[in-house]
Amino acid sequence: MPIWLIAIFILSGFSGLIYVGNHSGWFDAQVYEPFVDSQHLEAWARPPGPGEELKRGKATFGTLCSTCHGDTGTGSATTGCPPLDGSEWVMAAGPNRIIRILQNGLAGPIEVKGGKYGGGAVAMTAVGAALSDQQISDVLTYVRNAWSNKGKGAAPVTIEQVKAVREKIKDKSGYFTPDELLKLPEKD
């Protein structure tokens, strides 16, 4: 066999391997076209979805809110903590009021689901003041979509909404009152 023919065989075999390698993530068993390598695939396969923010929100709820509002958001008539599950405040069209409650706290009494809560010595402190915009967006998105609030179509609370409200109330010190909040549009 002439040497040039052997050379052509070797060259075409080699370029064939390069081609396959190029189009299959260098033989990574998990990578196929159109992904060129495993990082490319990872970036596409797991976009940060609402699942992640709900998980983070649930964790924050467990550390910061459940002692008062209960693990399942039922609140407690004995301690004067109102329910979050089924609360018209939580499920309002926009997060306008609940972002303010987390940032500055709330001194009632407040009416939730037809019952009276808070007031007197019982108030909600500014538990969200030290949280990041994202943590507030996560935990509020979670309470709007947990327990029986799930599936009611409450829109997620975005980081931008948290930022915008925080900017508006940056000069406000002290608790909000329910009356003050009710004067605000439900959604703005």
| Residue numbers at the binding site for ligand HEC (CB under 6 A) | 64-65, 67-69, 80-84, 87, 89-90, 98, 101-102, 106-110, 112, 117-119, 122-125, 127-128, 139, 143
Nearer CB in complex with ligand HEC: 35/117: 117
Distance CA 109, CA 35 (A): 58
Residue 34: how many CA atoms within 13 Å on its side-chain side? 2
CB of 145 to ligand HEC, least distance (A): 13
CB of 44 to ligand HEC, least distance (A): 34
Tell me whether residue 105 is exposed, middle or buried, using C-beta atoms within 10 angstroms of its C-beta: 0 to 12, 13 to 18, 19 or more. middle
CB of 20 to ligand HEC, least distance (A): 53
Nearer CB in complex with ligand HEC: 41/91: 91
CB 147, CB 73: distance < 8 Å: yes
